[in-house]
Amino acid sequence: MIQQVSSKGLNWFQDVRFGMFIHWGLYAILAKQEWVMHTDRIPVPEYEKLVAQFNPTKFNAEEWVSIAADAGQKYMVITSRHHDGFSMYDTALSDYKVTNTPFGRDPIRELADAIAKRGDIKLGFYSSLLDWHHPAYRFREKSGLAWSDYLEFLHGQVRELCTNFGELACIWFDGDWPHHKLDETNAYFEAGGSFEYETLYNMIHMLQPDAVVLNNRHEKPLPGEDIQGFEQDLPGLNTAGFNTPNVYNLPLEVCMTINDHWGYSASDQNTKTTRHLVHLLVRSASAGGNYLLNVGPTPLGEIVPLHAERLRGVGKWLDAYGESVYGTRAGVIPPTSVAVSTRKGDTHYVHVLDYTSDSVKLSGVPESIQSAALLRDGTAVQMERQGDKTLLVLPEATRDPINTVVVLQ
């Protein structure tokens, strides 16, 4: 029987709505995002030379946690090991790890301690199912190791993560993309067998009953996976080209880059505005999804100052309007091109994101709704019923430059 997350854990996850995703590792040194080992076909011995160069002297776990807190992010999901196979914590199962670099410290331990000190944010872990470095994943012929050796490593690391870092928000798997067997680089991606998900998920749900399990890009979540994920797309959309249009009856999570890359990319200046980020957060929430917003810290261990500034901008908006996001569920008032809604019981929050006139026309506003007011200060909003449509009149003065929230009760 495959276990699921506890309802307490699932409710917590759905209530918090906003998390920080962190892609950080050796690849930050090359500053060409997290796939550089593959995109530049860097041989393992060559890539391993980065270990001796990894020394993020400016890394400050409390600083990262305070940026997330200021942004209003309630969980932080960090890459414990990405596709390059390098572990960003002091694992007992590999020497290819951060504590064997000149840095010598365990940044994930320090993050866990900083988070535990605060108590209002939870840690989560990204774990790559594929591994471009492990001799039992990619080089079994040469190493003579078996797929079972890789599974022992993978499951062993997940056990460490679920045992050594306190109460977790989630375990976030990635890299099992059955359809990714197209070009000559099969060896980079070809799993040598099943990942034994039932055993893996049951172990997680046993060790961390309140943590959710997500497996990125699994077209249809498997038993034991508690959340359906969408990458670089809002639920049901597929502009990224690899998301399913099917939204299953599961809590959802949208993960997105704050610019165009997950890992640090020095040339990537395409950082989303605070306004755009708030719109993506509330559009995700209106579809019943969390928003996991990614940063790619620098090789010195800093979150890029502009990224921190934009995040704090979102936090400032949430300070005023968080009630319309935290603890809400998917809106029942259908989204329009300029407005979406979230719901908390019989209270509906309409998020007016753009304007084509002085009023916003909505359909599907429940009959029971009698009043409309600005969440900002309770100012009454003129509401007119026109057949099955409802008009909210929002003259310039009532608007918020980022997102005007109208409470319907």
Report the residue number, 127 or 403, with the smaller CB distance to ligand FHN: 127
Which residues are registered as beta bridge partners of 228? 252
Min CB(239)–ligand FHN separation in Å: 14
How many other CB atoms are there within 10 angstroms of residue 318's CB atom? 21
For residues 224 to 243, the per-residue mask of contacts with ligand FHN, x marking binding by CB under 6 A and - elsewhere, is -------x------------
CA 132 to chain centre: 23
For residues 282 to 321, the per-residue mask of contacts with ligand FHN, x marking binding by CB under 6 A and - elsewhere, is ----------------------------------------
The structure tokens listed for 409 are: 């009760």
Least Cα distance to 126 among 208, 40, 253, 214 occurs for 214
Report the residue number, 133 or 348, with the smaller CB distance to ligand FHN: 133
Min CB(390)–ligand FHN separation in Å: 38
For residues 320 to 339, the per-residue mask of contacts with ligand FHN, x marking binding by CB under 6 A and - elsewhere, is --------------------
Report the residue number, 157 or 216, with the smaller CB distance to ligand FHN: 216
Could you tell me if 26 and 54 are in contact, meaning their C-beta atoms sit under 8 angstroms apart? Answer: yes
Min CB(128)–ligand FHN separation in Å: 8
Could you tell me if 171 and 204 are in contact, meaning their C-beta atoms sit under 8 angstroms apart? Answer: yes
The structure tokens listed for 165 are: 């870092």
How far the first Cα of the chain sits from its last, in Å, is 43
Report the residue number, 289 or 313, with the smaller CB distance to ligand FHN: 289
Report the residue number, 216 or 341, with the smaller CB distance to ligand FHN: 216
Counts for the chain of helices (H) and strands (E), in that order = 12, 16
Report the residue number, 216 or 390, with the smaller CB distance to ligand FHN: 216
| Total residues at interface with ligand FHN (CB under 6 A) | 8
Report the residue number, 216 or 290, with the smaller CB distance to ligand FHN: 216
Residue with tokens 């067997």: 181
Could you tell me if 86 and 39 are in contact, meaning their C-beta atoms sit under 8 angstroms apart? Answer: no
Please report whether residue 131 would count as binding ligand FHN according to CB under 6 A: no
Site for ligand FHN in 140-179 (CB under 6 A): 174
Site for ligand FHN in 259-278 (CB under 6 A): 262
Rg (CA), the chain: 22
For residues 242 to 261, the per-residue mask of contacts with ligand FHN, x marking binding by CB under 6 A and - elsewhere, is -------------x------
Min CB(299)–ligand FHN separation in Å: 17
Residue 215 per-residue DSSP state: E
Report the residue number, 9 or 229, with the smaller CB distance to ligand FHN: 229
Among 81, 134, 138, 217, binds ligand FHN (CB under 6 A): 217
How many other CB atoms are there within 10 angstroms of residue 276's CB atom? 15
Q: Is 237 left (phi over 0), alpha (psi -120 to 50) or beta?
A: beta
Please report whether residue 398 would count as binding ligand FHN according to CB under 6 A: no
For 284-304, b/e burial (b = at least 16 CB within 10 A) is bbbbbbbbbbbbbbbbebbbb
Q: Which segments of 90-244 does DSSP mark as H helices, in order?
A: 107-118, 140-143, 147-164, 186-189, 197-207
Least Cα distance to 53 among 102, 123, 4 occurs for 102
3-class secondary-structure state, position 235: coil
Min CB(255)–ligand FHN separation in Å: 5
Min CB(163)–ligand FHN separation in Å: 24
Please report whether residue 34 would count as binding ligand FHN according to CB under 6 A: yes
Report the residue number, 307 or 343, with the smaller CB distance to ligand FHN: 307
Q: How far is residue 57 from each of residues 26, 102, 268, 303, measured CA to CA in Å?
A: 14, 10, 23, 13
Report the residue number, 255 or 339, with the smaller CB distance to ligand FHN: 255
Among 73, 87, 127, 216, binds ligand FHN (CB under 6 A): 216
In sequence order, the 6+-apart residues with CB closer than 8 A to the CB of 387 are none
Residues lying near ligand FHN in the complex (CB under 6 A): 34-35, 174, 216-217, 231, 255, 262
